[in-house]
Amino acid sequence: MFRFVGKAVVAVILVLSVVAQAGPHSHPLDEDGALALLERTLKHDGVYTHRISLDCVGYGTEETTDAYFQFVLRENHNAKCDGDPETSPVIDRYRVYRQSGKIECLERIEDKW
């Protein structure tokens, strides 16, 4: 009986931690939190799985407002990652909203978020 209760408590704690992470943020994200959320989301969703290793990607903050952080993802060119080390091409740009945690990607062709 105690085993079952222990397992149930662990399951509830795990579910609550996932719900807490997925829901709207009661406290606005800071820059580090927004970047961590973006990195976790890109890894989880496999956005670049067939395009580029995330080990060969660098992140930079381009814009900070009261509403969001705008990040640029660039290719890393070094000994591990191929390419001209004098260049760092842009892969994508993202906005991570402080309050909601919503992530938007810039649609480059339409120049819209």
Q: How many domains does the chain have?
A: 1
Q: Which helix (DSSP H) or strand (DSSP E) does residue 45 occupy?
A: helix 31-45
Global pTM reads 0.74
Cα radius of gyration (the chain) = 18
Q: Let me know: does 74 contact 57? Beta carbons within 8 Å.
A: yes
Separation between Cα atoms, residue 39 and residue 46, nearest integer Å: 11
Determine the structural domain holding residue 73 and report its residue range: 27-105
Q: Is residue 21 part of a domain?
A: no
Separation between Cα atoms, residue 16 and residue 14, nearest integer Å: 5
Q: Is residue 7 part of a domain?
A: no
* Confidence at residue 24, expressed as pLDDT on a 0 to 100 scale: 58
| pLDDT 10s digits, 57-108 | 999 999 999 999 999 999 999 988 989 999 999 999 999 999 999 999 999 9
Half-sphere exposure at residue 81, Cβ-oriented, CA atoms within 13 angstroms: 19
